[in-house]
Chain A
Amino acid sequence: MSLSNGQIGVFICHCGGNISDVVDIQSVKQEIELDNISVFDCEYLCSNIGQDLIRKSIDKHSLDKIVIGACTPVKHEKLFLKCIEDVGLNASMLEIANLREQCSWVHPDNLAATNKSISLLIGKIKRVQLALPLTPIQVSINPNAMVIGGGIAGINSALNLANNGIHTYLIEKDVTIGGNAAKIGKIFSPEKLAEECAMCSLSPLMNEIGTHPNITLLTYAEVENVSGSAGDFKVNIRKKPRYVKDNCMACGRCSEVCPVYVENDFNCGVKDKKAISMRFAQSVPQVYSIDSDHCIELTGGECGICRNVCKVDAIDFEQREENIELDVGAIIVATGFDEYDASKKPQYGYGIFENIVTQMDLARILGVNGPTLGKLARPSDNSVPKNIVMIQCVGSRDEDKSGNRYCSRYCCMAALKHASLIAKKYPDTNVTICYIDIRAFGLYENYYRAVQDMGISFVRGRPAEVIQKANHSLVVKVEDTLTQELKEMPADMVVLSSAMEASSGTKQIANILNVTLSEDGFVKEKHSKLKSVDTSRDGIFVCGTAQSPKDVTDTITQSGLAAARTSAFILDKEIRLDPQIAQIDHSLCNNCDECFKCPFGGISKDVSGKVSINPLVCNGCGYCAKLCSKSAISITGYKEEQIIAEIDGVIEKGDVLAFLSRGIPYATADNIGNSVAQYPANVKIVRVPTTTIVTQAMIEYAFEHGSRAVLMVEEPTDNSIGAFIYPLAFENFKDLKNELGETGAKLHFKKAYIPHYRGLAEIFTYLTEMEDEK
C-alpha cells in the first residue's frame, strides 16, 4: 500500500515535566525514529510555539500523517486537529497517544513509563498508516433558540438571547411566566441589608418577554418530543387550551361573576380563586384561563355566565389542544426546582399540625398579594404568632432516603430574610432559628450580622421533633449543642426550611432530551468549571435551579452565561460533526433491515430504497455495526484492520489489553491519572467508540501476540448511550467468550463510573496479577 510509504511526523510533548520527568523523551525518540518517521519534541505542544512547530514541520518535511504523544485526546484533540487542518492535512491523519493520564501520571517507574510510551506511539504510528481521508460533515445551524421554563432563569436567558438578535421560543407549562420567583415576595441581596421587592424586579422583565419582537412566548405548553441533533433540533410542543382567546382584555368581569371557587396553589392552596382567573395580577400574558376540572360548563353542566359578561367575546369553550412543531438550533433547559415535601419528615408534623409551614408558605403569608394580604398570621386561627421557631436543613444535608445529601444553599438566607421581615414589622414576635451551620457565604455575612443585631435567637442543633399541645400550641424539642442543654421550645408557629429539589419537570425534560442527570436529580453540567452550563449533549444548555440549588442572584448570573454560550453556538452558523460515524457498504448490504433497530433512530431507507445513515443523529456507537450480519456497516476510523494495527504496535508479551469505550470508560481511566492513583504499566488501553465493535479477530490477534488478558470496559447503563449499548455490548462479550473456547476465560467485561476510578485501577492491577498465578 502506497500509504505506508508516506512521511509520518511524531510530536512528543514534555508537558512542562508532567511527561518528561518520568518518560525519557530522548530514548523514546531514538527508539521510534526511522527513515520515513521524523520525531520532534516540545516543552508545551499545546502552546502557540508547539502548534507552530507542528504546522512548520508538516510544511518543511512534507509530512502527511501525524502522531502526537501528549495529554489525553479528550483535552486537546480539537486543537491539534485544527492545527493540522490549517496546513491542509485531513483530520483523519492524526492519532494521539495518551502519554500523560494513561502513562506518566500512573506509572512512576521511569523505565516502565518510557517503554510504555514507546509502545503506545508505535501503536498509533501503525494505525495512522492505514488512515483514509474522511469527508468532514458540515451542518448549518438553525438560527432559532428555545428556552424551556419561564421562571427567572428562563426569562433572563430568553431576554439575553433576544437582545443578541436571536429569535427565541420561550416555553412555559403554566398559564403565566414568573415561576417561583413570582411567589417569594421579598428577596435578599448581597450588598444591601434591605429586602427588595421581587415582583418589582421581575414584572418589568416579564412584560419585556411579552412584547419583545424576537421572543415567541408559548404558555400552558409542554415539550413532548425532541429529535435531531445540535444545530438542528425538531421540537414537538403540546399547547393546552385555556378556553380564553388572546384578545382577552384582562378586565376581570368574568372572574367576578364566576360562581366556582377553587384551591389557589399560588397561595398555599387557599380557596380564594375562581375557576376563571389569572394566576396573579402581573401575569404574562395578561389573558385569563379556565380551570377545566372545576368549571361548570366544561364539566358538563350549564353555566356560561363568564361568556355572557365578556365584552370582547374572548371566552371559547370549544378551544382544543394544539400541537406545534418548532425547528431550533439550540436549547436552554431552565425548568427550575420543586420545594421538598416536608411531610416526608413526619417528626416535624408538616401536613399534620396546621401551624407548621414551610419557608415558601411563609413567603406567601408575608407577601402583600398572599392569602393574608401580607399580615403575619398563623393558619389555625389567623392570630399573630408570638413565638416562631424555624428549623433549618429539612430534607437537606440528610443521608436518609427521604432526604437529600446536598446543602440547598438558599435556606439559611431565606430564614434570615423572613426573620428580619418579621422583626421589623412585628417587634413583639420572637424568632428562633435552629441551625446546624449558618451558611451566609461571601457578602451575605453582612446580612447575617444585621439580623443578629435585630435580636433574632439562634440555637445550634437539629430539632428531634415538633409536638402539638392544647390550643394548637407547639413544642420544638432540640439540644442546644453549644450549651449541651436539652430544650423544649414553645412555639405558636414553626417554619421548616425545606430543601430545594430538582423539579419533576426537570426530570421529565432530561428524559425527553436525553441529557445526563447528576445522582441528585439535577441536570449535570459537562464540566463544573470550564463548561458549567453545557449539558452532556451538544447544543443543549442548562441554567438556574435545574442545574443545582441556588438563589435568585446566582440564577440570574448563570442564566446570562447560558444565553452567552447559546448565542456563541448559534452565531457559529455551521457545526462540524464528528466524521467518525457509521458508514455502509451498499455492495455488502442484503437489506435485512436489522440496522433499523438503531435506538437513536439514525437509520432509515432513502427514496431509492437503500439503507441510509443520518449523520445528524448517528453518534458512532457501533450498535448497527454489531447487528449487521454481512459486516456491511463499520465505524469510520475504527475498521478492524486499523484496530489490529494498533494492537500489533502496543502489545508485548504478558500485557493486558483493555478496550475502553470513548465516553465514560476512557474518562474514568484518565481520572486514575488525575487522581494520582497507579496501576501496572503493562496495561495497554485502546480507545473504541463502544466495545460492540470489538471482534474475535482483534482478540485472537492480541492473545497470539502474548496478551495475558483482554478487558472490555463499557458505558454504564444510566448513561444515554450505555442505556442502549450496554446490553448489546454484554451480548457481544458473551459471544466472543464462547467463540474463544478455553481462551475465553482470559476475556473480561466491566462497566465504568467516573467517580469510581479506583475500582478500574484495581481491576487493571488484578488482571496483571491474577494471570501471573497461572
Chain B
Amino acid sequence: MTDMMADEMIDTLSEYDTPICDTLAETVKKSLRTSDTIGIDRCMQCGACTASCPAARFTDYNPRKIIKRVMENDISVIEDESIWNCFYCYTCHLRCPRNNSPTQVVQVVRQMAINKGIGLDKLEVLFEYGDAFAELGVSKIPDLYVGQMEDDFDMRWHEFKNNLDSVRSELGLGTVGVKDTGRGEIRAILAGIGFFDRQEKMKQMAEAELNTSDEKGGITNETN
C-alpha cells in the first residue's frame, strides 16, 4: 500500500472515530467508539463514575470532570495528562445511572489528542497490544506491566500464569490462544480495516515527536 493510500485510509477511519462536529459532545456521540444511546447530555454529575474508578483512587484522573469538560466543550481536555490513566475496566460504564460511559468518552478524547500529536509518548506501551494482535491474534500484557504485576501480586501472578491451562481446564474452558489459521484470518481482518497502517503511522509520529522533544529539551537547557 502506498503512503497516500494509507493516509486516505486513516482519514476515513477518523471520520468514523473522531468526526469533526460543532462540539466535543457531538463528536463523542457520533463516534463509532461510543454506544448509540450514550447519555452524555443527561449527565447529572452524581460522581458514581469517579467513586467507582480505580484510576481515580490512585491518580488525579476524574471521569466525572472529564464528562463535564466535554459537555462544556472545553477542548483543552485533550491536553490533560490524566486522560491517559483510564485503563478501560468499564466500571463507570456499568454504574452510570444515565447510560453514559466515561470510558468510551475518554477513548474518543484520546484519539483526538493523538490526531493533534498530543500524548504520543503514552502510546509506546500500547503498541505492544497491537503487535501482539498481529502476531498471536490475541492481546497480551505489555512487558512494562509485567514487572508491576510482580510488584503487586508477588509470585502469585506467575503461579496463575504458569498454571493457566490447568485452571482453565478445571473450569471447563479450552486453552487460551488462537490457532495458526485463526491468526491468519485475524491478520487479514486487521490489514483490511487499515489497522497496521494506522499503527505504523502512529509509531512514526511517536518517534518523530520523541526526536523533536529531545531537540527542544536541548534548546531549553541551553537557554537556562
The judgment on whether A and B are partners is yes
Contact, CB under 8 Å: A481 / B98:
no
Identify which of B45, B57, B97 contacts A403 (C-beta below 8 A).
Answer: B97
The residue of chain B having its C-beta at the shortest distance from the C-beta of A460 within the complex is: B47
Partner of B44, one of A436, A479, A480: A436
Given contacts A479-B64, A481-B64, A484-B65, contact A464 B48 (CB under 8 A): yes
Verify if B193 is at the interface (C-beta below 8 Å from A).
Answer: no
Whole-angstrom distance between the Cβ of B162 and the nearest chain A Cβ: 31
Instruction: Give, as a whole number of angstroms, the nearest-CB distance from B30 to chain A.
Output: 20
- Indicate whether A486 reaches chain B with its CB closer than 8 angstroms: yes
Contacts of B32 in A (CB 8 A): none
Closest B residue to A345 by CB, please name it. B95
Also in contact, A464 and B95, with CB within 8 A (given A399-B39, A484-B65): yes
Q: Among the listed A400, A403, A462, A484, which residue makes an inter-chain contact with B46, where contact means beta carbons less than 8 Å apart?
A: A462
Is B14 at the interface (CB under 8 A from chain A)? Answer: no
Contact B97 A398 (CB under 8 A): yes
A479 contacts across to B, CB distance below 8 A: 47, 50-51, 56, 62, 64
List of A residues within 8 angstroms of B97 by Cβ: 393, 397-400, 403, 462
Within 8 A of A (CB), among B2-41: 39
Alpha-carbon distance A347/B95, docked complex (angstroms): 9
Chain B residues lying within 8 Å of A478, measured Cβ to Cβ, are 47, 51
Chain B residues with CB under 8 Å of A245's CB are none
Q: Which residue of A lies closest to B51 (CB)?
A: A464
B52 at the interface (CB under 8 A from A): yes
Chain A contacts of B39 at CB under 8 A? 399
Interface residues as binary, A385-399 with B (CB distance below 8 Å gives 1, 0 otherwise)? 000000001000111
Residue of B51, B52, B98 with most partner-chain A CB within 10 A: B51
- How far is B188's CA from A733's CA once the two chains are assembled, in angstroms? 48
Measured as residues with beta carbon below 8 angstroms from the partner, the interface class of chain A is 20 to 34
Question: Is B98 in contact with A399, judged by CB distance below 8 angstroms?
Answer: yes
Docked CA distance A758–B97 (Å) = 27
Closest B residue, CB atoms, query A437: B44
Of residues 50 to 71 in B, which have CB atoms within 8 Å of A's CB atoms?
50-52, 56-57, 62, 64-65
A477 adjacent to chain B (CB < 8 Å): yes
Q: How far is the CB of A403 from chain B (nearest CB, A)?
A: 7
* A465-B98 Cα distance, complex, nearest whole Å: 17
A482 to chain B, nearest CB (A): 9
Q: Which of A437, A463, A480, A486 contacts B48 (CB 8 A)?
A: A463
Contact among B47, B56, B95 with A461 in the assembled complex (CB-CB below 8 Å): B47
Give chain B residues whose Cβ lies under 8 Å from the Cβ of A481. Answer: 45-47, 50, 64
CB distance from A667 to the nearest CB of B (A): 27
A463 engages B51 (CB within 8 Å): yes
Report if B99 contacts A (CB, 8 A). yes
A403: B residues at CB distance < 8 A: 97
Q: Check A486–B51 contact: CB distance below 8 A.
A: yes
Least CB distance from B102 to A in Å reads 12
Report whether B47 and A462 are in contact in the complex, using a CB–CB cutoff of 8 Å.
yes
CB distance from B89 to the nearest CB of A (A): 12
Q: How many Å lie between the Cα of A465 and that of B57 in the bound state?
A: 13
Q: How would residues 61 to 84 of chain B score, 1 for a CB under 8 Å from any chain A CB and 0 otherwise?
A: 010110000000000000000000
- Which residues from chain B contact A400 at a C-beta distance below 8 Å? 97, 99
Q: Which among A397, A400, A436, A479 has the greatest number of chain B C-beta atoms within 10 A? A: A479
A:444-481 near B, CB below 8 Å: 460-465, 477-481
* A368-418 residues at the B interface, CB under 8 angstroms: 393, 397-400, 403
B64 touches A464 (CB 8 A): no
Measured in the bound complex, the distance between the Cα atoms of B47 and A436 in whole Å is 9
Q: How far is the CA of A465 from the CA of B91 in the complex (A)?
A: 11
Q: Fill in one digit per residue for B128-149: 1 if any A CB lies within 8 Å of its CB, else 0.
A: 0000000000000000000000
Q: How many angstroms between the C-alpha atoms of A403 and B48 in the bound complex?
A: 15
Per-residue B-contact encoding for A415-443, CB less than 8 Å = 1, 0 else: 00000000000000000000011000000
How many Å lie between the Cα of A479 and that of B42 in the bound state? 19
Residues of A within 8 A of B47 (CB): 460-462, 478-481
Asked if B51 and A462 sit within 8 Å, CB to CB, the answer is yes
Known: A403-B97, A479-B51. A486 touches B46 (CB 8 A): no
Chain A residues near B99 (CB-CB < 8 A): 399-400
Most chain B beta-carbon neighbours within 10 Å: one of A462, A478, A486: A462
The reply to whether B98 and A461 contact each other, CB–CB distance below 8 Å, is no
Q: Report the minimum CB–CB distance from A464 to chain B (whole Å).
A: 4
Considering the complex, give the chain A residue whose CB is closest to the CB of B62. A484
Contact yes or no, B46 A464, CB < 8 A: no
Given the known inter-chain contacts A347-B95, A398-B97, A479-B64, please indicate yes or no for A461 contacting B52, CB distance below 8 A: no
Which residues of chain B have C-beta atoms less than 8 A from A398's C-beta?
97
- For residue A480, give the distance in angstroms from its CB to the closest CB of chain B: 8
Q: Which residues of A contact B52 (CB under 8 A)?
A: 464-465, 477
Question: Across the interface, do B50 and A486 meet the contact criterion of CB distance under 8 Å?
Answer: yes
A112–chain B nearest beta-carbon distance, Å: 33
Q: Which of B42, B44, B48, B62 has the most CB of A within 10 A?
A: B48
Interface centre among B42, B47, B62 (most CB of A within 10 A): B47
Q: Which residues of B contact A462 (CB under 8 A)?
A: 46-48, 51, 97
- B57: which A residues are within 8 A, CB to CB? 486
Q: Which residue of A lies closest to B53 (CB)?
A: A464
By a CB distance below 8 angstroms, the chain A residues around B65 are: 484
Which of B56, B95, B98 sits near A486, CB closer than 8 Å?
B56
What is the chain B residue whose CB lies nearest that of A403?
B97
Task: Give complex CA distance A462, B51 in Å.
Answer: 8
CB distance from B58 to the nearest CB of A (A): 10
The interface residues of chain B lying within 8 Å CB-to-CB of A437 are 44
The residue in chain A whose Cβ has the minimal distance to the Cβ of B99 is: A399
- In the assembly, what is the distance between CA of A481 and CA of B56, in Å? 13
Cross-chain contact A461 with B62 (CB below 8 angstroms): no
* Cα A393 to Cα B98 with chains together (Å): 12
How many angstroms between the C-alpha atoms of A436 and B95 in the bound complex? Answer: 15
Which chain A positions have C-beta within 8 A of B56?
Answer: 479, 486
With a CB–CB cut-off of 8 A, which chain B residues contact A463?
48, 51
Residues of B within 8 A of A477 (CB): 51-52
Contact with B along A291-324 (1 / 0, CB 8 A): 0000000000000000000000000000000000
Of chain B, the residue at the smallest CB distance from A476 is B51
A461-B44 contact given A399-B99, A486-B56, CB 8 Å threshold: no
B31 to chain A, nearest CB (A): 20
> CA A347 – CA B48 in complex, angstroms?
11
For B57, the closest partner residue in chain A by CB is A486
A460 proximity list for chain B (CB < 8 A): 47
Task: Report A539 CB to chain B, min CB distance, Å.
Answer: 39
Nearest Cβ in chain B — how far from A689, in angstroms?
37
Nearest Cβ distance between residue B183 and chain A, in whole angstroms?
A: 37
Once bound together, how far apart are the Cα atoms of A549 and B97, in whole Å? 19
Smallest beta-carbon distance A685→chain B, Å: 32
Minimum distance in angstroms from A439 CB to a CB of chain B: 12
| Cα–Cα distance between A117 and B32 once the two chains are bound (Å) | 47
- Find chain A residues with CB under 8 A from B44 CB: 397, 436-437
The residues of B that contact A347 with a CB separation of less than 8 Å are 95
Q: How far is the CA of A479 from the CA of B63 in the complex (A)?
A: 11
Which of chain A's residues 79-105 have a Cβ closer than 8 Å to chain B?
none
B51 touches A436 (CB 8 A): no
- Chain A residue contacts of B50, Cβ below 8 A: 479, 481, 486
- Complex contacts, B42 vs chain A, CB 8 Å: 399
Residues on B with C-beta less than 8 A from A399 are 39, 42, 97-99
Q: Within 8 Å CB of A397, what residues of B?
A: 44, 97
In the bound complex, CA of A484 to CA of B50 (Å): 9
Question: Residues 125-151 of chain A: 1 if any B CB is under 8 Å from the residue's CB, otherwise 0?
Answer: 000000000000000000000000000
Interface residues of B (CB under 8 A from A): 39, 42, 44-48, 50-52, 56-57, 62, 64-65, 91, 95, 97-99
Closest 6 A-B residue pairs measured CB to CB? Answer: A464-B51, A479-B47, A464-B52, A462-B46, A461-B47, A462-B48
Would you mind naming 10 contact pairs between A and B with Cβ atoms under 8 Å apart? A397-B97, A399-B99, A460-B47, A464-B95, A465-B52, A477-B52, A478-B51, A479-B47, A479-B51, A481-B45
6 more A-B contacts (CB under 8 A) besides A399-B97, A463-B51, A486-B51? A397-B97, A398-B97, A461-B48, A462-B47, A464-B52, A486-B50
